[in-house]
Chains A and B, each alone.
Chain A
Amino acid sequence: MTGLRAPHLPEPAIRARARDGTAAIFPDVEGYGRTLFGAVPAAGQAGDDLDQAQIVPPVFVPRRLEKLYELGREPLFGDVDLTTSIGGFTVPLPVFLCAFGSTQVADSALGLAASEQAGRLGIPMVIGENVVPMHGYGRSIDGPADGLLGRILAYSGAVPDGLGGVVVQQSTEDADAEVWNLVYSDPSATALLNTGRLAFELKVGQGAKPGLGGMTVLSRSAAAAVSGQYAVDEAFGPQAAMVLRSSSPGTFTGEILRQQVHLMRNNFPRARVWVKLHPGRDVRLAANVAWNAGADAVTVDGAEGGTGWAPSVFLQNVGLPLAECLRRIGKHDADLLVSGRVWEGSRVLKCLAMGASAAGLGRAALLAVSEDAADGLVRLVRCLELELRLLLSALGKYRLPDLDTADLWFPGQYDTTEEDRMP
């Protein structure tokens, strides 16, 4: 276990899952037969809209009857099919590993351990912006093996055939380092390219600091080395050992986004194209521009997401929460990937019911890997997977596309439409 902290997540619960696996999704089995369990009182309705939403299984379950026809026996949670396709990749469950940026938490060993485990799980892995300019690409001549290449190799060495994929982000400053061109012409990415498992993600923004670019804290010497590429401020005082390094958010209009996506498809025809948006108020418009331009997936980071270090004023006051992004985007036919405080199955299911195709693990994945570098993330995902099976099965649904907003109840809202449709 390392000293990594995530004060706004239920860190002990995440660490318990990383350590104990699926046992941790149930009450302590020692108490079985001796303790009376019951619902946890809604403690002052803490959390966001998604936390407050309740998953509401119906009494009548026509889709279970369909599954019963298919199986010739009563379906169980083990019969739920979680396999799906997201952003052009085949995945065993609707989960991906979010990008960690160049922030210190994502440094070195944690990033490599997370990559290996994401590979083993067969879930897509996004590699963050600035990883190349900050950590180097990892070719022997220009940098350490914990850079982009190290992470790609750790992932490809572990991933089962036909599953998952690697997604390499690039933002405005990364364009100077030609991250995508580099990966596209590198022998180490050939196997992924040849099997259709390489994607490039255009980073338009991020959840933690909507409207801002990346921000990290560096020592003065580290900052001096990158001062040609980034703005460096003495935000912590002239005597402080550390300085603030900022990236530009990049300038986007509808036309700029459309053409950048076109150019990605033109220049890298064998790679998938993902676009990452911050939770902007025009998120529906931006997502539609990206999809119509040919993006295979749009990723939206809720304002509650992000591993990034950000000014408090942004953490508390800026950007749409994930539930509101999902509401605004509404119905669509394309792949929408979301992230923001995801660590267990109910939040994933709620996102899917609201229209997402998959949910990303960010901080929770880092915590899990820091709890157990060998298997922490695998165990955390196994927990989430079992919860998803249990929840879908409870809803009488056995395929992900059957989920919809009727499966959720937001306090104070009641819609009789579904009941009215009942015979």
Chain B
Amino acid sequence: MTEILDSPVAASELPGELRAHLMSPVTHAALRIQNAIAMGSREYLARHGFVELFPPIIGPVTDPGVRGAKQIDVDFYGHKYKLMTSVILYKQASLLGFDKIFYLAPNVRLEPLETATTGRHLVEFHQLDVEVAGASREEILDLLEGLIRHTVSYVLRESEADLESLRRDREAFTPLLRDPFERFSHREAVAMLRGLRHGQSADAEIDWEGEKLISEQTNRPFFIVDYPKGSRGFTDGESSAEPGVLRNFDLIAPDGYGEMCSGGERTYEYRRLIERMRETGENPAKYAWYLDLARDGLPASAGFGLGLERFTRYLAGLDRVWQATAYPKLPGIATP
């Protein structure tokens, strides 16, 4: 028998007391839906020949912080190590062993304080991290679209009671299950936003307000592709046909839920890595282990990182992303 919760997903900007959060039926439903997401995704990826690896937690370097996030230092026997902001460098390295891999990986990013109340940022979160040797961006977009559709179907089937208790409208997913996801270029997205009277920069990432705005215009997820160089870190591959344009993408959820996933083709050639590191203000010496691998050859690849808590928030229809984790950590707020 399904218990229908009172005003189930309404949430304050910040989590309240931990005991109440852990005992809340909303938390329980959200975490069970998250479980189904993990199971559905694993099922889909296993069917497509992927090997699941367990992610490294610390390393001498990690994905260089983007959009102002800071990394966390860890003392490793006198060496300065980092907690993973993402496992991207290890994903590329792992392709030396397997052609198709994925991780369910924890990430930690000290995000700017202004993101504490966006409802979309967690300092500690998880990503479904997928990487495929030799894949093009278009192949990865198809794979991701298939994964999302499979996982949503899985959750609609397996988490029926939880979705009902959260009063999540199943019809919200009909367009997603029925229609292909649209693909806009960054340039088109900027024009759309300017049409909505939002002053989006043509050289930068879609800002958070813009992302929310654009996400409110649609009824199913869509892709923004071809971000300009200078809006992303060095791992995002640059187009050889169109210099200055990256072969990357973001997946944006509809109804204001915003960005859930980033990915694209990777920079993998040694000299290009050196150039792109400098273009992103990085000191190549810091990435010695990774550059050593690249000097002897890393496979070309493409992949993505799908935010597990954001995907859960979208599927469960939650107000805020912190509702999709048992132990929410928000920028600047010291919680367990």
Contacts and interface: CB of A to CB of B under 8 A. Distances in A.
Interface string B116-134: 0000000000000000000
A166 interface: no
B283 interface: yes
A185 B112 contact: yes
A269 B331 contact: no
A253 to B, nearest CB: 8
B70 A181 contact: yes
Contact of B68 (A175, A250, A268): A268
Interface stretch (B150-158, B224-232, B303-311): B224-232
Interface centre among A184, A255, A294 (most CB of B within 10 A): A184
A262 B204 contact: yes
B160 interface: no
Interface in B174-226: 201, 203-205, 207
B292 interface: no
B57 interface: no
A228 B78 CA distance: 11
Given A266-B203, A266-B230, A256 B67 contact: no
A172 interface: yes
B78 to A, nearest CB: 9
Nearest to B78: A228
A114 interface: no
A260 interface: yes
A262 B228 contact: yes
Contacts of A178: 65, 70-71
B69 interface: yes
A295 to B, nearest CB: 12
A265 interface: yes
A263 B70 contact: no
B114 interface: yes
B110 interface: yes
A182 B203 contact: no
Interface of B: 65-71, 79-80, 110-114, 201, 203-205, 207, 228-232, 275, 278-283, 286, 331-332
A228 B73 CA distance: 15
Interface in A259-278: 259-270
Given A175-B281, A259-B280, A262-B229, 8 more contacts: A175-B286, A176-B283, A185-B68, A185-B111, A262-B228, A266-B232, A270-B114, A293-B230
B177 to A, nearest CB: 34
Contacts of B111: 185
Interface in A173-200: 173, 175-176, 178, 180-182, 184-185, 187, 190
Nearest to B67: A267
Interface in A217-275: 228, 248, 250-253, 255-256, 258-270
A252 B68 contact: no
A176 B232 CA distance: 18
Nearest to A257: B279
30 contacts: A172-B283, A175-B283, A176-B286, A178-B71, A181-B69, A181-B71, A181-B110, A185-B70, A185-B112, A185-B332, A187-B332, A202-B281, A228-B80, A250-B283, A256-B275, A256-B278, A259-B229, A259-B279, A259-B280, A261-B230, A262-B228, A262-B231, A263-B231, A263-B281, A265-B204, A265-B230, A266-B204, A267-B66, A267-B67, A293-B230
Residue among B112, B207, B331 having the largest count of chain A Cβ atoms under 10 Å = B112
Nearest to A261: B230
B68 to A, nearest CB: 5
B112 A184 contact: yes
B279 to A, nearest CB: 4
Contacts of A172: 281, 283
Contacts of A250: 278, 283
Interface in A116-142: none
Contacts of A268: 68
A181 B283 CA distance: 15
Contact of A184 (B68, B71, B230, B279): B68
A200 to B, nearest CB: 10
A184 B332 CA distance: 12
B331 A185 contact: yes
B205 A266 contact: yes
A259 B281 CA distance: 9
A260 B203 contact: no
A182 B207 contact: no
Nearest to B66: A267
A257 to B, nearest CB: 9
A199 B22 CA distance: 41
Contacts of B68: 180-181, 184-185, 267-268
Contacts of A265: 201, 203-204, 230
Contacts of B278: 250-253, 256, 260
Contacts of B205: 266
Contacts of A269: 204, 207
B203 A262 contact: yes
B69 A185 contact: yes
B124 to A, nearest CB: 15
A185 B73 CA distance: 15
Contacts of B204: 262, 265-266, 269
B282 A175 contact: yes
B200 to A, nearest CB: 11
Contacts of A256: 275, 278-279
Contacts of B283: 172-173, 175-176, 248, 250
B66 to A, nearest CB: 6
Nearest to A184: B68
A170 to B, nearest CB: 8
Nearest to B69: A181
The 5 closest A-B pairs by CB, nearest first: A262-B230, A259-B279, A181-B70, A266-B204, A256-B278
A266 B281 contact: no
A218 B332 CA distance: 36
Interface string A152-176: 0000000000000000001011011
Given A262-B203, A268-B68, A185 B113 contact: yes
Pick the most buried of B65, B229, B279: most chain A CB atoms within 10 A of its CB: B279
